[in-house]
Amino acid sequence: MAIVVNLDVVMAKRKISLSELAAKIDITLANLSILKNNKAKAIRFTTLEAICRALDCQPGDILEFTPEGQIGDIEDE
């Protein structure tokens, strides 16, 4: 996948747990985990906005484009 989700990196910098973030943005822990682990196929803008508000960051801090075959390109294992 050419889009890499760096949510775990931003969460670590902000010292916030997955369950704490899920509660803040009113999303299930399972769905947030799917996003964090690069398994999501899409994200709603409202969810992205809520994450950015809660973590005080920009969408580009969370989402990164990498050309196919480069580091961060994780296929289904």
Q: Phi and psi for 63 in degrees, rounded to 5?
A: -105, 135
Q: Are strands 63-65 and 3-5 parallel, antiparallel or unpaired?
A: antiparallel
pLDDT of residue 61: 97
The type of residue at 24 is K
Q: CA 61 to CA 63: how far, in whole Å?
A: 6
Q: CA 50 to CA 66: how far, in whole Å?
A: 24
pLDDT of residue 1: 57
Is the pLDDT reported for residue 77 higher than 50?
no
Model confidence pLDDT, tens digit, residues 11-66: 999 999 999 999 999 999 999 999 999 999 999 999 999 999 999 999 999 999 98
What residues contact 30, with CB distance under 8 A and at least 6 apart?
none
Predicted TM-score (pTM) of this structure: 0.82
Is the pLDDT reported for residue 73 higher than 80?
no
pLDDT of residue 76: 44
Q: Residue 31 has which token pair?
A: 């769905």
